[in-house]
Amino acid sequence: MSTDTTPDLTIIPIETPTLGDRSYLVHDGEVAFVIDPQRDIDRVLDLLEEQDVRLTHVFETHIHNDYVTGGLALSRRTGAVYLVNGADHVSFDRTPISGDEVIEVGARMRVTALATPGHTFTHLSYALADALTGEDVAVFTGGSLLYGATGRPDLLGEEFTDELVRAQHASAHRLAETLPDDAEVFPTHGFGSFCSATQSDATSSTIGQEKRSNPALTQDEETYVRVLLAGLSDYPAYYAKMAPANSAGPSEPDLSEPAQADPVELRRRIEAGEWVVDLRNRTYFAAGHVPGSLNFGLDGGFATYLGWLIAWGTPVTLLGETPEDVATAQRELVRIGIDRPAAAATGGPADWVAGTGVELGTFKTATFADLAQVRHHRQVTVLDVRRADEHAGAHIEGALNIPLHELPTRLGDVPAGEVWVHCAAGYRASIAASFLAAAGLPLVAIDDSFDNARAVGLQLVDPDPTTAA
């Protein structure tokens, strides 16, 4: 967590890297406001105590599609005013706000709402001015103007995408024309979130920098629309659940320890079709795991991929080496609206099958070099579980592409025989391997970077054969 300080004004990002988002706490040394808080509001409460400031306002830029907000719960806990666009249809009491409305926060901070539709129809950005100088020092852009990108315009449905993408272009220009070049830009999305239309490695920016580099500000409308829409890829299925949850008014999450499950209960839950999720690193999972369990390691996009693949409402039991691992997973899950694990168990795989007579499951791991050698000697199925756009960019000749998020419902499409499964770096391949193993399919999981595939002699298919993989 870094801190950006203007004279007497402090802006503290609250990062959620696993979802690719940031919230912000802003204060003048006495009072504070928060932008787009995540569901686990204890992080904000701890920060308020650490900074010794009083929260007076909570602002939402939009009704989020990639996480459950903590705004209402934070407002109720602290007594802060909760500001949500008055045009949003919500089922809770809030203070409505609209474009061009100005909110004074303490004696130093003046917040102006700016209508910036595009990510959603009712999206607002918030310009922060120093009330003593009248200068705009920052803008909180939510899912509008991001670092080198914009928020994606297709999350409300295909029928609205064309209108929203054009609105997004106009909104970016409004921000650029309204604010000074040295105003700092603080987006909510754009740090790996699928809410971003494209990704950037930037961690900070200003309006002036975005004018020089952001496609929304350097391309004409038709070019921007064409390029952005052509580059959009799939996004997590759980996004469809987030806006309804946020409109209903999410409660403060229960992060208390879940009930402990013994090996017999774990077996019963697996056999009942529930999800028993192993949180360990993929190397350890391959070496030994509870048969039928699924590997969503905490070292990758745990909540994103679990939320993407699970049938909503399926009970989830968590297997972690320590109580801290289980607690971390719980926190990740409440952010996407999976409120309580059905149960949990800690220790290791031997503990989780003890006394049941069930042997641990294992599968082999390999590199792309190993695959190249094997293909000289025998026929194997190469299963590419990257997204369709990644596969189209470059893929191993003859590989079968079933994107990871489609695999649970398409296991029947995997041919009989030995399957070598890969993704871009290994994390998604291990998730896929756990599904294949649970289905009883013989497999090898490739734990390697796809960048190495061409160098080891595998024949790749791509639009430009001179391009490295």
What HEC string does 127-160 produce? EEEECCCCCEEEEEEECCEECCEEECCCCCCHHH
**What 3-state DSSP class applies to 163?**
helix
Question: pLDDT tens digits for 400-458?
Answer: 999 999 999 999 999 999 999 999 999 999 999 999 999 999 999 999 999 999 999 99
Nearest alpha-carbon partner for 139 in 211, 67, 61 = 61
Q: Which of 245, 164, 233 is nearest to 403 (CA)?
A: 233
Domains of the chain: 4-248 (3.60.15.10), 263-353 (3.40.250.10), 364-461 (3.40.250.10)
What integer is the mean pLDDT of 245-263? 96
Max distance between CA atoms of the chain, in angstroms, equals 75
Q: Which of 351, 329, 326, 325 is nearest to 338 (CA)?
A: 329
Contact between 423 and 449 under an 8 Å Cβ cutoff? The reply is: no
State both tokens at 308. Answer: 């993407």
State the Cα angle at 319 between 45 and 328, rounded to 5°. Answer: 15
- Give the C-alpha separation, 197 to 145, whole Å: 11
Instruction: Give the model's confidence band at 194: pLDDT under 50 very low, under 70 low, under 90 confident, else very high.
Output: confident
Eight-class DSSP state of 394: S
> pTM here?
0.92
pLDDT tens for 22-78 read: 999 999 999 999 999 999 999 999 999 999 999 999 999 999 999 999 999 999 999
pLDDT for the residue numbered 193: 76
- How far is 53 from 433, CA to CA, in rounded Å? 48
Three-state DSSP class for residue 25: strand
Inter-CA distances, 193 with 10, 15, 21, 214, 299, Å: 25, 12, 6, 17, 16
Predicted pLDDT at 469:
36
When the pLDDT of each residue in the chain is averaged and rounded to a whole number, the result is 95
Nearest residue to 224 via CA among 88, 118, 358 = 118
What is the arithmetic mean of pLDDT over 324-348?
97
Residue 114 to residue 190: CA distance in whole angstroms: 20
